[in-house]
Structure 1
C-alpha cells in the first residue's frame, strides 16, 4: 500500500474550466481548483471568504456607476439611473441632479474626467459636462465648442446655394440633404458659417449667416457639423497629451478627432500646425466602429473589430501614425470602458467570452492581447460592467445573467486567478472608488446600491450598536419578510425572519450585523495519483487533510459525508453568545473509507457562517493499493 502526500501551497490559478479536468500536466492544474465561490484569491496565492455587502440605498431601477476623483481626499461615486444622477461620498448621498439619459440609454454612455469636470457622451444625446463646485453642488450642461468639427456627408457632386450673402437666407441643395434634425445645425459654405433655423424640405432650409458669404451662387464647397441631432453625437472620450480625443459618433463610427493642444473644445484643423486639431478615419479591410479610446503608453483605440495604436511623440498632424495591433474587437451593444492594470489595458472582447490584456512588448515593439480567461472560460459570459480594485488587485466583472466573476491579477508574480461571486439576487453593475467596490444588485425585483464591507459577513447587510445592549433592532425594511443571518457581539445568532422591519436578539447585544447569508465553496480538482508504478485510476483512501489557516473563526469541511464544523478549541462547538476566537495555524481533519470515483473531490470546504476564513495551503495524505 503506497502512501502519497500532496501539498497545495497556492490557488494562484483560480477556478479552472471543467474542460481542463484531464490536463493534470498543466502548471495551472497544480495551483487551480474545481470551484471557488464567494472567495477572493490573495495576490500571495491564498484565499479568503469575500466580504459581505453593506446595504446603502434602494434605487429606482438599474444604474451605471462612475468613479469621480477630484483629489486624494475628495472622491465620489456617481450613480446614474433613469434621468437622475446621485452623488455619493462614502456611504452618504450628498447631491442629486436631473440628467437627459433614460434607463435604456445608460448602457451606451462613455465618459472621461478632467479636474472638476466629467464629460459624458452618448451617440443619441448631446454630450454633457458635469461639474463639481463643492461636495453638495453639482451642475450639468451641454458642451459648448470653441470650434466644432465638420464633415461632408453628402456626395461630392451635390451643391448648396444661399439666397443672399448676409442675414436670413434660404439654403437650396441640388439633391435631398436636409432632415428635421438639421434645425440648429451649423453648415459651412465656402468656409463661411451659416446656422439652419428650420428645415422646409429635403432640398431647402431657412438659415442665418454667421460669416458673410463670398457669393450666393451654388457651390460644391460645403460641409456640416460632424455632431448634430441629424448625424448623432460622440461615442467615446479620453484626454491624451493635453488634447481631448473623441472616438467615433453615431454616423461616423470609425473617425477620430483630437482637439487643439491645451484648447480642449477647439477642433479647428487650421493649417496643420503642430498644436492644431487632428482628424482622420480608421480605414482597413474590416468594420472599425470605435467603441473606446484610452490614454496609455500610446493613444489606444478599441473598435468593434480590432485594436489600434496611435503613435507620435508628441502627436502632431505631421507625425501621427496609426497602426492596427490585434484583431479581438470590443462589444457594440454597450460601452465597457477599458481599465489600466499595472501598465496594461484590460478590455472585454466583442464575443463576450474573453477578457484581454492589451500590453506593449518592447521586443516586438507592438501590442499583444493575451486572453486572461482562457483557463476559466465558463466564468465569463457577456460582461456588462467592469471595475478594478488596485488595492487588492481584484478585477470584478458583472455578467448579463447576474453573476459576477473576480480576477486576481498580479503580473509580477504571474497570478491570474478567477473566482465566482454569488448572492441572493443578481449583480447588475460594479464600480470602484478609492479602494471601495460598489455594486448594483437586483433582489426581489428591486435594485439596490451596496458596497463590499470587510467588516460584514452577510449581504444586503446593516450594522448597529447600543452602549448597554438592545433586544430589538430596526432599519430592515429593505429585507422585509426575508430570512436573515444575525451576528451579535461577534457571535453567530442563527437566522430570523424580518417582521415590520425588525428582528430580536436574545440575549440583548451591544453590536449586531444583519443580512442575507451567502455560502463560500472551496473545492479542489481531482487528485493526480502518480505512484512509482505509474498513474492510478483505482480506489484511493483519504487519510487526513491539513488546512493551514490565518485568522479564521469558522471552518466547515466535507470529506464525503456532508459538511461538518471543525472546532478550534477543546471545549467543543461554538458557544452561542461568545465571539469565537480567530485561529491561525494548521488544522488536521481525519477521514475514513475508500473512494472508487477518483474524479470526485477528496475534500470540500463549504459554509455560510458569517465569520472570517483565510486558507493558505492544504496538505492531503492518501493511500493507494499497489
Structure 2
C-alpha cells in the first residue's frame, strides 16, 4: 500500500473548470481548486480569509448607482456617485455637504427682472432680463456686467457658503470678492453651460459678478445660496444608461462620454467646488462639405441670427450642433469703442479694380466721437501689421484700392493703442473677392428650413451659400460613446468614427490648424462597429468595438500620431461587450463580446502590435452568467474584480512575471452591483456597491493588515467600527436591520446577534468593536495525484489520512478540515502537550501532521473551511495519501 505526500504549497493557482480537474499532469491544475470562495491568495502562494467590507454609506435613495474614480494625485482622490440624473461626491469616505447659513442672494432666480443686480456694463455691452434669465451680450472687446452685494450676518462670517449657479448658455465669467470687481473669494473663473456648486468662506459681505465680452448672448438661469445637507448636482444620465458611461481625467476635469448623450465635463475647483457642464467645441469637428444643391442663408454676420435652408435640412436633434458656412466675399464688422481695437482682417487678391474693398463707419450714440482710425496691412499672412492710412471716426463709407496687383495682402482697420478718445463707431471692412468661413451653433429649430443660431466665429456675408458643413456631433448625427486622453490629445469615438483634438488643446478640433498638431479624424471602416465600447491609451491607442479590437498607430512605433501619419489595424477579432476596459501597465483587460470571458490585450514584439490572450482558459465558466462591471487595483497584489450578474465577484490575482492568473470567487449576503478602486498608501482602496435587500450600500474592503487578529479585526461584511469607552450597545446598523451579525470585540469573537432597531446589545461592555455580516470561506482541492514524475493516482482508490498545515496569523478555532464540507474537524486543542485556550491567535503554526478523517475513494479531496470573524492565513498544506494499487 504505497504512501505519498502531496504538497499544496501554493494556493495562488485558483479555481479550475470541472472539465479540467483530471488534468493533474499539468502542475498548475494539480495545485488548483474546484472551490475557492472568500479566500484571498497572494502572489507569494499563501491565502487568507478575505478581508471584510466596511460600511461607508448608502446610495441616493438606495437607487442603482455608478461610481467613477477621481484621482488628482495618489493622496487626493474622490468617488463620483452617479445615480438617476444626480451626482454626489464622496471624499475620504464622506459625502461632500454644505453648511447651514442664513445668507440670501436677492432675486437670484431672475423671475421677472434683474432688480437687485447693479448694471456695470462697459460701453455698448448690454445686460438684460430675457425669459427668466440674465442675458449678457458683450461687444467682443467690452463686457456686459451685473453684480450684487450679498449681506452676511456676523454669525455666518467665515462659514463655508455654497453658491448654486445654473447657466443656460455659457460661457459666463464669474468673480466673487469682498468688493465690486474683486475676486478674492472665488478667483475669476469661466462657467460653461450646466450646473455649478461653488464654495467660499466670506469674512463678511461679498460681491457676486457675472460678465461676458462675447458678442452673442450668454444666459445665467439662477444663482442661490445652497441649503444645508449633501451636495447634489443634476446630470443628464438616467439610471438605465449609467453602465454606458466612459470617462477619462485631466487634472481637475473628468471628460465623460455616454452613447446618445452630449459629452459632459465634471469639473472640480478648490477641492470642494464641483460642476457638471456640457463639453462644447466651437470649431469642429465637421463632416464632409455639402455636395448637394441645398443652400443656407444666414440673416446676419454676428450675434443671434436665423439660418434659412433652401430645402428641408434641420431637425430637432440639430439643437446644439455646429454649422460652418463659407461666404462669397468677405465682410468683417465690429463696434469700436476703445484703444487697441480692430476689425477682423480681409484677404485681398487680384488685379486692378478687383482689389477694391470698402470701409464703412457709422457713429453710435450721441457722441462725442474722437480718435484716429488706422488702416493696417500685412503681407502674405496676417500678423506683421504696418500702418497704411489714418481716418477720423466720421460717418460714411469709402473705397480703397492698393494697386498691388497679384499680391496677397491682409487688411484691418481700428484704433491703435492710445488712439481712441471717445465715442462708439460701427466699423466694417468688405471685399467682394475671396471668401470667409464662419461657425454658428444652432439654438432652436422652428421648421425643417429654419433654425435660430448664435455666431461663434463671424460670418463673411449674408448671401445664400451652398458651401457648408455640419458638425459631426449632435442629437441628429449622434454623440461619442467613448473618450480617452492620448499623446496630448483628447480623443472621442462613436459609431465607426474617432476624433483626436488639436494637440494640447482639448476643446479644439480646428481642421485649419497647420502641421502635425492639427486634429485627427477617421473611421474604423469595417466590421460590426455600430458602437465603440471603449478607448484605451496604451503604447498605442486601442479601440474596443463590438466585432474587433482596433489599434490606431503611426507608421513607426515611436512616432506620434499626426493628421497625416496614422493608420488602423485589427490585432484582435474577439470583440468586446459594453463594459469599459481596464488598464494594467501597458495591457488592457476587457470582457469579450459574449460577456463571460475576460481577455488581455498585450503588446507582442514578435508581431509589432497588440495581441489578445484569454485570461479564463482554465476556468471559462468563472464569468457566468455574465460580467457586468470590472476594475483592478495594484497593491498589495494586482487583482482584477469582475462583478457578475448574480451578484458574486470573480477575482483574478494577476502577476505576469510570476505567471500567476488565479481566479477565486467572492460572495456576500447581498448582490454586488459595481466595483471601483482608488490608489492607497500601502494597500489600494477597493469599493463595492452591494444591494442588501433593497438597501444599496457603498462598502470598502478592509486592509489585509486589519484582518490578522488583534483588538480590531475587520473580518465582517458591511461592518461598522467602534473605538472608545466601554459600551454595550452599538447603533448605526440600520442597513443590516433584522440580520444576524458577528461581533469581534477587544480581540475576541463574542458570537452572533440580531440587529433590532438599528442596533445590537453586547453581553458585556467593550471598547474596540467590529460588527457586521459573517461569511464562510470553503476551499476544495482539485483531484489529488502524485507529484510530477511519480505517476498518477487517478482512478485508484486512495485515502487522505493526514494533513500538515503551515499557518500564520490564524485563530486557533478558525480553521476546519475534512474530506468534504459535511465531515470536518476543528484544529487540535493540544499544542506541544499544552491546551490551546479559546481565542488564541497563532502568529506562526508549523506542527506535526494531523490525522485526517478521510475515507477510501477514487476521488479523495481535501476541504478547508474558515468563517468570519476569525482570521486564517494558510501558507501550505502537505497531504498524506495512501493508495490501494491492487
Q: Same fold (TM over 0.5)?
A: yes
- Aligned: 1:266 with 2:508: yes
Which among 413, 432, 457 is matched to residue 715 of structure 2?
457
**Correspondence for 2:411:** none
2:871 paired residue among 605, 612, 622 = 612
Q: Show structure 1 runs of 5+ residues with no match.
A: none
What residue number does 2:142 align with?
none
**Are residues 1:448 and 2:693 paired?**
no
Distance 1:520 1:275, change over 3 A: same
Residue pair 2:306, 2:450 contacting (<8 A) in 1 also: no
Q: Distance in 2 between matches of 1:194 and 1:146?
A: 8
Deviation at 1:419, TM superposition (A): 0.2
Indicate the residue corresponding to 2:783 in structure 1: 526
SS in structure 1 at match of 2:665: strand
Tell whether the 8 Å contact from 1:559 to 1:603 is kept in structure 2 after alignment: yes
Q: Which sits farther off after the overlay, 232-241 or 522-531? A: 522-531
Paired residue for 1:292? 534
SS at match of 2:29: helix
Following the alignment from structure 2 to structure 1, what is the Cα–Cα distance between the partners of residues 794 and 68?
A: 53
SS in 2 for 1:11: coil
Structure 1 residues 161 and 134: alpha-carbon distance in aligned structure 2, compared to 1, 3 A threshold: closer
Q: Which residue of 2 aligns with 1:590?
A: 851
Partner residue, 1:216:
463
1:610 CA drift (Å): 1.0
The aligned counterpart of 1:383 is: 627
**Whole-angstrom CA distance in 2 between matches of 1:5 and 1:427:** 40
Could you say if the C-alpha distance between residues 259 and 610 of structure 1 is closer, same or farther in structure 2, counting changes exceeding 3 Å? same
Q: Distance in 2 between matches of 1:537 and 1:80?
A: 55
| Alignment partner, residue 665 of structure 2 | 420
Which residue of structure 1 lines up, in the alignment, with residue 25 of structure 2?
25
TM-score of the two chains, using structure 1 as the length reference = 0.92
| Partner residue in 2 for 1:236 | 482
**Residue matched to 1:66:** 68
> Quick one: which of 598, 622, 643 aligns to 1:398?
643
Matched position secondary structure for 2:96: strand
Match of 1:75 in 2: 77
Q: How does 1:312-331 map to 2 (within 5 A)?
A: 312=554, 313-331=559-577
Asked if structure 2 preserves the Cα contact closer than 8 Å seen for 1:289 and 1:305, the reply is no
Deviates more, 1:580-589 or 1:419-428: 580-589
Pairing 1:350–2:603 present = no
- Work out the CA distance in 1 between the residues paired with 2:454 and 2:873: 71
The offset of 1:308, in angstroms, is 1.5
Residue-by-residue CA offset, 1:412-471 (whole Å, 9 max, x unaligned): 00000000000001000000011100000000112110010133111011111233x222
Please state how far the C-alpha of 1:383 moved relative to its aligned partner. 1.6
Deviation at 1:130, TM superposition (A): 1.6
Q: For each residue in 1:347-393, what CA deviation from the matched residue of structure 2 results, as whole angstroms up to 9, or x when unmatched?
A: 11111121111111112212111010111111113222111110121
TM-score by length of 2: 0.66
* Alpha-carbon distance, 1:289 to partner: 3.0
**CA separation of 1:163 and 1:426: change in aligned 2, threshold 3 A:** closer
Matched, 1:182 2:318: yes
SS in 2 for 1:105: helix
Contact preservation (8 Å) 1:567, 1:574: no
What CA distance in whole angstroms lies between the structure 2 residues aligned with 1:128 and 1:422?
35
Deviation at 1:135, TM superposition (A): 3.2
> What residue number does 2:756 align with?
499
1 CA distance for matches of 2:854 and 2:634?
Answer: 45
Show the counterpart of 1:3.
3
Change (3 A) 1:164 1:73: closer
Q: Distance in 2 between matches of 1:153 and 1:15?
A: 57
SS of the equivalent of 1:431 reads strand
Cα distance in 2 for partners of 1:532, 1:393 equals: 35
CA distance in 1, matches of 2:848, 2:718: 32
Shift of the alpha carbon at 1:132? 1.8
Corresponding residue of 1:438: 687
Question: Is 1:409 the counterpart of 2:667 in the alignment?
Answer: no
* C-alpha distance in structure 2 between counterparts of 1:115 and 1:106, whole Å: 23
**Distance of aligned partners of 1:625 and 1:573 in 2 relative to their CA distance in 1, 3 Å threshold:** same
Measured in 2, the distance between the counterparts of 1:227 and 1:144 equals 10
Say how many residue pairs are matched.
611
Distance in 1 (alpha carbons) for counterparts of 2:454 and 2:744: 71
- Give 1:429's match in structure 2, choosing from 674, 677, 685: 674
User: CA distance change for structure 1 residues 394 and 269 in 2, over 3 Å: closer, same or farther?
Assistant: same
- Given that 2:301 and 2:462 are in contact with CA atoms closer than 8 Å, whether structure 1 keeps it comes out as no
d(CA) in 1 for partners of 2:651, 2:692: 20
Q: Is the 8 A contact 2:39 2:49 kept in 1?
A: yes
Give per-residue Cα distances to partners, 1:509-530, cap 9 Å, x unaligned. 2211111111101110121268
CA shift digits 1:220-258 (9 cap, x unpaired): x3221211232232211111111111111xxxx111111
Deviation at 1:344, TM superposition (A): 1.3
Q: Determine if contact 1:492/1:609 at 8 Å carries over to the other structure.
A: no
1:569-588 equivalences in 2 (<5 Å): 569-570=830-831, 572=835, 575=838, 578=839, 580-586=841-847, 588=849
Pair 1:87-2:108 in alignment: no
Contact 1:459–1:515 at 8 Å: present in 2 too? Answer: yes
Q: CA deviation at 1:504?
A: 1.9
Single out whichever of 557-566 and 60-69 deviates more from structure 2: 557-566
CA deviation after TM superposition for structure 1 residue 147, in Å: 1.9
User: Which position in structure 2 is the counterpart of 1:625?
Assistant: 884
Residue 123 of structure 1 pairs with residue 259 of structure 2: yes
CA distance, structure 1, for counterparts of residue 853 and residue 444 of structure 2: 86
Quote the offset at 1:218 in angstroms. 5.6
Cα contact 2:489–2:506 (8 A) shared by 1: yes
Aligned counterpart, 2:580? 337
By how many angstroms is 1:587 displaced?
Answer: 6.0
Q: 1:213 to 1:611 in 2, by over 3 A?
A: same
Superposition deviation, residue 396 in structure 1 = 0.7
| Alignment match, 2:55 | 55
Q: Distance in 2 between matches of 1:232 and 1:189?
A: 21
Q: CA deviation at 1:407?
A: 0.4
Gaps of 5+ in 2: 98-230, 327-436, 707-713
Cα distance change, pair 192–132 in 1 and its aligned pair in 2 (3 A): closer
| Rounded Cα–Cα distance in structure 2 between residues aligned with 1:47 and 1:374 | 22
Query: Offset of 1:29 from its aligned partner?
Result: 1.0
Q: 1:148 to 1:558 in 2, by over 3 A?
A: same
- CA drift of 1:474 comes to 1.7
How far has the Cα of 1:18 moved from its partner? Answer: 1.0
With 314-323 and 226-235 compared, the bigger mean Cα shift is at 226-235
Alignment match, 1:199:
445
In the alignment, which of 226, 232, 238 is matched to residue 97 of structure 1? 232
Which residue number corresponds to residue 809 of structure 2?
A: 551
Q: Shift in Å at residue 398 of structure 1?
A: 0.6
Tell me the distance in 1 between the aligned counterparts of 2:584 and 2:306: 55
Counterpart for residue 430 of structure 2: none
Post-superposition, which runs of at least 4 consecutive aligned residues in structure 1 deviate over 6 A?
530-534
Q: In the TM superposition, what is the alpha-carbon distance from 1:592 to its structure 2 partner? A: 4.3
1:475 lines up with 2:732 in the alignment: yes
Larger Rg: 2
CA 1:371 to 1:257, structure 2 compared with 1: closer, same or farther past 3 Å? same
**1:296-319 deviations in Å (ceiling 9; x for gaps):** 111111111111111231211121
How far apart in 1 are the matches of 2:463 and 2:815? Answer: 85
Contact 1:396/1:407 (CA < 8 Å) preserved in 2? yes
Deviates more, 1:71-80 or 1:428-437: 71-80
